[in-house]
């Protein structure tokens, strides 16, 4: 990318239209843009950036500042730039948003920003319009240049004030700049996409697992409707599901299905046996059914009573153990609290021992009481330590006051030395100002003579402009005549081509229609069906139907050819109308232009334009000289008055130096006397600080130990009282009585069940009194036996139906469970690679570094390598930049820190914030050039043919300035056009190609150049 030409008017201080030709500027090395501060040097850079991107450079810049406040009402501000890019040469014309007087009524209206873009065959040509909308122009130029506005200002335009921003940026700010410049946001987006995909797969796997667990719950509810017994298959299946052991759950489920199938077979056998029993019992069913049933019940209850009586003694012992366990549970938490307090007391005692050891070794402290000493003794010792610490702080305050006086003395002495040096420099400056006054008087006299000559030439401007406008109108008519002649020829050629196209379409339509007629019989034959009558002859037999011949056309093809014929006829009619209209306009233009040739018209226009330019230069020169004379005269008067004030101030300052020196001598004597008596201030302050730190640590440790000791004693007393109330001899007895909560609940439930069973047996026996005596004479049990056998048979049938139904349900549930297990395994297998990629990209790798940070560090290393090539050359091998992983301030480690290596100081590393003004400029320039080179390579080999460096050279001495200029010259040898913006006088001597901004004194500015033809007035 190379800037070729720049034109502007009513922009900043530049009111008159002006054009700058950069193609001949800086051919032998860097060129200089110079001028006083505020004259408008940076405005030219703003104009270039605005032309390319529709906004200006610099963090504090605003597009509104482009519009000149000195323009005449109704005058349009505009910028026009010709630039060479990787896609060719473009010319862009922009006008920023501005106000103008309303055409009707009063007040002002706002004109929106405008933009137009042309693509040029070669630099300076008329070009072809590309687009006229601001958004389209912005997009086309950004794509052609290959850089965003921020990248452009980092690589092509290094704006004033932003030059060292990258050097002094924090790692977070530097990360943002590198992310934006190198476009590495894609890696952050990639990491976010990886995280999103991994989360999606994890969600899918979790959903599949939840589905599998739901299927497992369904299987369990169907297989074990009564719930799970301890250590039974249902419990083992629930445990396998809870631990996600799908293989074990599948084995248990398969076994349950097999068991269900076996249960169906057993139930079938039971049905057969019940049917046989019912048939054999029906003959004797009616004998003593009720008596036999009661006798059987009586015997069973007696057996149950005997069994429960055998367990009574053991259950009573269990009852006592459970009561003791409940009491022990109440002491569990207090005992734990007492043990924790005792552990804290031991820990604080250990910290106190360490602090006491350090104190005895470092300072003189009161002897520490023993571990078993009463609290009153320990408290007295802590108060003594606190008093010692207070005395130490008082001594430190006294030393601090002396240190403040010593620091104030050093500051006053340095101020006095600086003031004396400044007075000497001021005296030299006053002498130099007196010489400048004499030179200024001579320059004003020379300007007055030049003004008279310029005024004589300026009076010719109005006549020259009229002649130029007439010549331009004649040239426009000739150009229009030639353009219309070319368009007439093109219209005639197009009309002939369309006539040929129409002939072809007519013939194609005729051929298609004939082919369609010839194949019509074949189309009818294709629709005949055997046994059905022909739609033409009515016969149901079709012995020899017609067949499709080669070249057969369908009806749609005929319609398409007819449409093509109609379209060609319409296009030819339109072309004839356009050609006739162009011919009429051309004839009118020929009559208006007359017989003037293009060569004669262009020569007349150039001669008239030259006369206008000469007169305009004279007018501009008159205004410039007049303003310069007035400004010079005012400046001379102001400088004479200021010089008198400076002379008087010098005399006054010299009188105050003696009193300040006497006061400093007295203060120095007082400081020396104090140090002779008590020793060095710094050593005393350091000793007192160490003593205070040791005493602080010892007092804190002592207080903590005392508190822990009190807390442990209180907890021990509470536990002792609680154990006595609960009836336990000691803590060990509590531990022996404790029962785990789950076991306690289970054992309590078992005891309750025993009591309920014993009460139930006694109640039922009481209700069966006399059943034993009725057994021998009761025949009813036979009838009851028949009914029982019949009930058994019916229940066997019911159980068989339930078993079959459950077996089918369990089998279906197992199939569903296995299907969901397969789906879950597939989701987990698909999720694992995404989870692994997310861990690696998010920093869980050998480098402990995320993917975006890794890419940025590699890019930053490339920038530093390129920057160090410049910096080593500009500092004669002394300085080199190094990337640092250290934190800067409160920032997180980014791996984007900067440090300076000073090879002349044994390769010492220095923070970049310690650099002087000149060192900062050299380092910033090297870093900016390295960033420019890196962005060039990163942007796909974009050629950055232009570089602007705005200010900063005033901080360099002659030797460093030579090295910087050598680096900038090397850029020019490499093919870049380098522009330097500065008002430093040394730059004027070093750079011969200079573009100078002159302030006219009324707020406006004008441009001149040491190379003729670079700066010229532009058409309004």
State the CB neighbour count (10 A cutoff) for residue 588: 11
Cβ–Cβ under 8 Å, residues 1016 and 15? no
Give pLDDT, residue 770: 62
CA distances from 467 to 460, 472, 603, 616 (A): 11, 9, 13, 14
Superfamily in which the 1-146+943-1020 domain is placed by CATH: P-loop containing nucleotide triphosphate hydrolases (3.40.50.300)
Q: What's the whole-number average pLDDT of the chain?
A: 79
Look-up: residue for tokens 């298609």? 512
Contacts of 78 (CB under 8 A, 6+ apart): 8, 9, 10, 11, 93, 94, 95
Cβ–Cβ under 8 Å, residues 774 and 282? no
Radius of gyration of the chain (CA): 53
CA distances from 858 to 178, 602, 862 (A): 11, 59, 6
CA dihedral 48, 52, 55, 56 (to 10 degrees): -20
CA distances from 569 to 70, 499, 572, 997 (A): 61, 8, 5, 65
Cβ–Cβ under 8 Å, residues 843 and 850? yes
- Per the DSSP assignment, residues forming a β-bridge with 769 are none
For residue 993, give both structure tokens. 């190609």
Give pLDDT, residue 414: 86
Shortest CA distance to 868 belongs to which of 829, 923, 828, 830?
Answer: 923
pLDDT at 535 over 60: no
pLDDT at 249 over 70: yes
For residue 375, give both structure tokens. 């609290």
pLDDT at 15 over 80: yes
For residue 820, give both structure tokens. 């969901």
Separation between Cα atoms, residue 969 and residue 29, nearest integer Å: 5
pLDDT at 237 over 70: yes
Question: 655-698, pLDDT tens digit by residue?
Answer: 777 777 788 888 788 777 777 766 676 777 776 676 777 777 77
Question: 636-652, pLDDT tens digit by residue?
Answer: 888 888 888 877 877 77
Look-up: residue for tokens 């030059």? 163
Q: Could you tell me the pLDDT band of residue 6, with boundaries at 50, 70 and 90?
A: very high
Buried b (16+ CB within 10 A) or exposed e, 938-968: bbeebebbbbbbbbbbebbeeebbebbbebb
Give pLDDT, residue 58: 53
Question: What average pLDDT does range 590-605 have in this prediction?
Answer: 77
Separation between Cα atoms, residue 590 and residue 583, nearest integer Å: 11
Q: Could you tell me the pLDDT band of residue 160, with boundaries at 50, 70 and 90?
A: very low
Task: Provide the CA 989 distance to its chain's centre, in angstroms.
Answer: 47
For residue 445, give both structure tokens. 């006299």
Cβ–Cβ under 8 Å, residues 362 and 696? no
Cβ–Cβ under 8 Å, residues 629 and 444? yes
Shortest CA distance to 920 belongs to which of 877, 857, 959, 874?
Answer: 874
CA dihedral 283, 286, 288, 294 (to 10 degrees): 100
For residue 186, give both structure tokens. 């894609």
Separation between Cα atoms, residue 929 and residue 163, nearest integer Å: 11
Of residues 120 and 462, more confidence is placed in 120
Of residues 725 and 549, more confidence is placed in 725
Shortest CA distance to 755 belongs to which of 230, 318, 123, 270?
Answer: 318
Cβ–Cβ under 8 Å, residues 792 and 259? no
Give pLDDT, residue 536: 45
Cβ–Cβ under 8 Å, residues 59 and 40? no
For residue 195, give both structure tokens. 């995280």
Q: Is 88 left (phi over 0), alpha (psi -120 to 50) or beta?
A: left
Look-up: residue for tokens 């380092």? 923
Of residues 558 and 723, more confidence is placed in 723
Separation between Cα atoms, residue 296 and residue 299, nearest integer Å: 5
For residue 146, give both structure tokens. 């290959």
pLDDT at 605 over 70: yes
Task: Provide the CA 781 distance to its chain's centre, in angstroms.
Answer: 91
Contacts of 345 (CB under 8 A, 6+ apart): 705, 708, 709, 711, 712
Q: Report pTM.
A: 0.40
Separation between Cα atoms, residue 978 and residue 945, nearest integer Å: 8
Give pLDDT, residue 361: 58
Give pLDDT, residue 601: 79
Shortest CA distance to 322 belongs to which of 12, 655, 745?
Answer: 745
Separation between Cα atoms, residue 384 and residue 366, nearest integer Å: 7
Contacts of 455 (CB under 8 A, 6+ apart): 618, 622
Shortest CA distance to 952 belongs to which of 927, 969, 935, 934?
Answer: 927
DSSP state of 993: S
Helical packing angle, 958-973 and 917-938, nearest 10°: 10
Helix, coil or strand: residue 18: strand
Give pLDDT, residue 83: 92
The DSSP result for 945-991, as a single string, is -EEEEES-GGG--HHHHHHHHHHHHHHHHTT-EEEEE---HHHHHH-
Give pLDDT, residue 8: 95
For 755, phi then psi, to 5°, come to -60, -40
Separation between Cα atoms, residue 934 and residue 447, nearest integer Å: 50
Separation between Cα atoms, residue 541 and residue 529, nearest integer Å: 9
Q: What percent of the chain has pLDDT over 70?
A: 81
The DSSP result for 206-238, as a single string, is HHHHHHHHHHHHHHHHHH-TT-PPTTSHHHHHH
Look-up: residue for tokens 């162009």? 582
Question: What average pLDDT does range 340-349 have in this prediction?
Answer: 81
pLDDT at 457 over 70: yes
Could you give the angle at the alpha carbon of 346 between the alpha carbons of 344 and 348, nearest 5°?
Answer: 70
Of residues 346 and 999, more confidence is placed in 999
Separation between Cα atoms, residue 703 and residue 705, nearest integer Å: 5
Separation between Cα atoms, residue 784 and residue 283, nearest integer Å: 12
The region of weakest confidence among 40-49, 632-641, 808-817 is 632-641
For residue 632, give both structure tokens. 């010079």
HSE of 964, CA atoms in CB hemisphere, 13 A: 30
Separation between Cα atoms, residue 428 and residue 426, nearest integer Å: 5
Pairing of strands 157-158, 946-950: parallel
Give pLDDT, residue 461: 76
Question: 383-426, pLDDT tens digit by residue?
Answer: 777 777 777 777 777 777 777 777 888 888 888 888 888 888 88
Separation between Cα atoms, residue 728 and residue 736, nearest integer Å: 10
pLDDT at 55 over 90: no
Cβ–Cβ under 8 Å, residues 379 and 706? yes
DSSP state of 58: S
Question: What average pLDDT does range 918-929 have in this prediction?
Answer: 77
């Amino acid at each position: 990318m190379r800037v070729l030409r720049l034109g502007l008017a009513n922009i900043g201080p530049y009111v008159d239209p002006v054009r700058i030709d950069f193609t001949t500027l800086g051919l032998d090395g860097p060129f200089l843009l110079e001028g006083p501060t505020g004259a408008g040097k940076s405005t030219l850079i703003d104009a270039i950036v605005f032309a390319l991107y529709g906004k200006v450079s610099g963090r504090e810049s605003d597009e509104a500042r482009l519009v000149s406040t000195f323009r005449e009402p109704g005058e349009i501000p505009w910028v026009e730039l010709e630039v060479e890019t990787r896609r060719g040469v473009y010319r862009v014309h922009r006008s920023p948003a501005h106000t103008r007087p309303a055409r009707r009524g009063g007040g002002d209206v706002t004109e929106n920003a405008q933009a137009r873009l042309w693509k040029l065959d070669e630099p300076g040509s008329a070009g072809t319009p590309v687009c006229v909308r601001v958004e389209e122009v912005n997009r086309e130029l950004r794509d052609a240049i290959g850089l965003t506005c921020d990248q452009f200002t980092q690589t092509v335009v290094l704006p004033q004030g932003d030059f060292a921003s990258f050097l002094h940026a924090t790692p977070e700010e530097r990360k943002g700049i590198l992310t934006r410049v190198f476009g590495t946001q894609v890696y952050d987006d990639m990491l976010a996409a990886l995280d999103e995909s991994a989360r999606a797969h994890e969600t899918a796997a979790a959903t599949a697992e939840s589905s599998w667990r739901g299927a497992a719950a369904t299987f369990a509810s169907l297989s074990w409707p009564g719930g799970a017994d301890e250590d039974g298959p249902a419990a083992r299946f629930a445990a396998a599901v809870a631990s996600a052991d799908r293989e074990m759950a599948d084995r248990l489920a398969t076994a349950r299905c097999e068991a269900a199938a076996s249960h169906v077979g057993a139930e079938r056998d039971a049905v057969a046996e019940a049917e046989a029993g019912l048939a054999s019992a029906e003959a004797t069913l009616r004998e003593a059914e009720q008596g036999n049933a009661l006798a059987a019940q009586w015997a069973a209850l007696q057996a149950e009573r005997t069994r429960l009586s055998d367990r009574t003694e053991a259950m009573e012992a269990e009852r006592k153990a459970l009561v003791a366990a409940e009491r022990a549970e109440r002491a569990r938490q207090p005992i734990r609290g007492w043990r924790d307090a005792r552990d804290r007391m031991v820990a604080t005692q250990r910290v106190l021992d360490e602090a006491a050891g350090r104190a005895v070794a470092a300072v003189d402290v009161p002897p520490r009481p023993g571990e078993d000493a009463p609290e009153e003794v320990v408290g007295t010792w802590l108060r003594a330590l606190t008093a010692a610490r207070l005395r130490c702080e008082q001594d430190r305050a006294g030393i601090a006051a002396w240190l403040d006086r010593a620091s104030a003395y050093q500051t006053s002495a340095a101020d006095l030395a600086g003031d004396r040096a400044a007075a000497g420099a001021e005296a030299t400056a006053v002498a130099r100002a007196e010489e400048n006054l004499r030179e200024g008087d001579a320059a004003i006299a020379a300007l007055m003579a030049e003004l008279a000559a310029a005024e004589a030439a300026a009076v010719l401007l109005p006549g020259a402009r009229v002649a130029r406008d007439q010549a331009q109108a004649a040239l426009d008519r000739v150009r229009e005549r030639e353009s219309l002649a070319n368009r007439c020829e093109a219209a005639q050629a197009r009309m002939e081509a369309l006539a040929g196209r129409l002939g072809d379409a007519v013939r194609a339509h005729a051929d298609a229609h004939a082919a369609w007629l010839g194949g019509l019989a074949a189309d009818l034959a294709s629709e005949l069906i055997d046994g059905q009558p022909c739609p033409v002859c009515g016969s149901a037999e079709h012995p020899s139907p017609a067949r499709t011949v080669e070249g057969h056309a369908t009806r749609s093809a005929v319609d398409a050819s007819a449409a093509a014929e109609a379209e060609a006829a319409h296009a030819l009619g339109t072309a004839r109308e356009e050609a006739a209209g162009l011919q009429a306009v051309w004839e009118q233009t020929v009559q208006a232009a007359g017989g003037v040739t293009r060569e004669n018209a262009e020569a007349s226009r150039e001669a008239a334009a030259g006369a206008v330019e000469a007169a305009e230069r004279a007018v501009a020169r008159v205004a410039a000289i007049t303003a310069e004379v007035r400004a010079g005269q005012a400046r001379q008067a102001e400088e004479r008055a200021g010089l008198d004030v400076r002379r008087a101030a010098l005399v006054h300052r010299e009188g105050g130096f003696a009193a300040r020196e006497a006061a400093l001598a007295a203060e120095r004597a007082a400081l020396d006397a104090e140090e002779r008596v008590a020793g060095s201030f710094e050593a005393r302050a350091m000793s007192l600080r160490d003593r205070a730190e040791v005493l602080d640590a010892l007092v804190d440790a002592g207080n903590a130990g005392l508190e822990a000791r009190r807390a442990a004693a209180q907890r021990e007393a509470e536990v002792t009282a609680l154990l006595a109330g609960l009836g336990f001899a000691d803590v060990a007895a509590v531990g022996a009585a404790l029962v785990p909560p789950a076991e306690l609940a289970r054992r309590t439930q078992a005891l309750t069940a025993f009591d309920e069973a014993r009460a139930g047996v006694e109640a039922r026996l009481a209700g069966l009194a006399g059943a034993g005596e009725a057994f021998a004479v009761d025949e009813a049990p036979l009838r009851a036996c028949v009914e029982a056998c019949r009930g058994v048979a019916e229940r066997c049938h019911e159980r068989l139906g339930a078993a079959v139904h459950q077996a089918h349900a369990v089998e279906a549930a197992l199939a569903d469970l296995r299907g969901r297990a397969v789906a879950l395994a597939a989701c987990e297998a698909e999720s694992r690679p995404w989870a692994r990629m997310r861990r690696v990209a998010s920093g869980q790798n050998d480098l402990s570094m995320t993917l975006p940070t890794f890419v940025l560090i590699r890019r930053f290393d490339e920038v530093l390598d390129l920057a160090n090539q410049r910096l080593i050359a500009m500092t004669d091998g002394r300085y080199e930049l190094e990337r640092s992983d250290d934190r800067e301030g409160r920032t997180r480690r980014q791996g984007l820190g900067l440090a300076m290596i000073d090879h002349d100081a044994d390769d010492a590393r220095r923070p970049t914030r310690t650099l002087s003004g000149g060192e900062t400029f050299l380092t910033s320039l090297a870093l900016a050039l390295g960033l420019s080179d890196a962005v060039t390579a990163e942007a796909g080999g974009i050629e950055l043919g232009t570089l602007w460096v705005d200010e900063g050279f005033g901080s360099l001495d002659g030797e460093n300035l030579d090295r910087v200029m050598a680096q900038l010259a090397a850029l020019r040898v490499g093919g870049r056009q380098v522009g330097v913006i500065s008002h430093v006088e040394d730059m004027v001597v070093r750079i011969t190609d200079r573009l100078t901004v002159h302030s006219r004194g009324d707020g406006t500015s004008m441009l001149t150049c040491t190379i003729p033809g670079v700066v010229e007035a532009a058409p309004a």
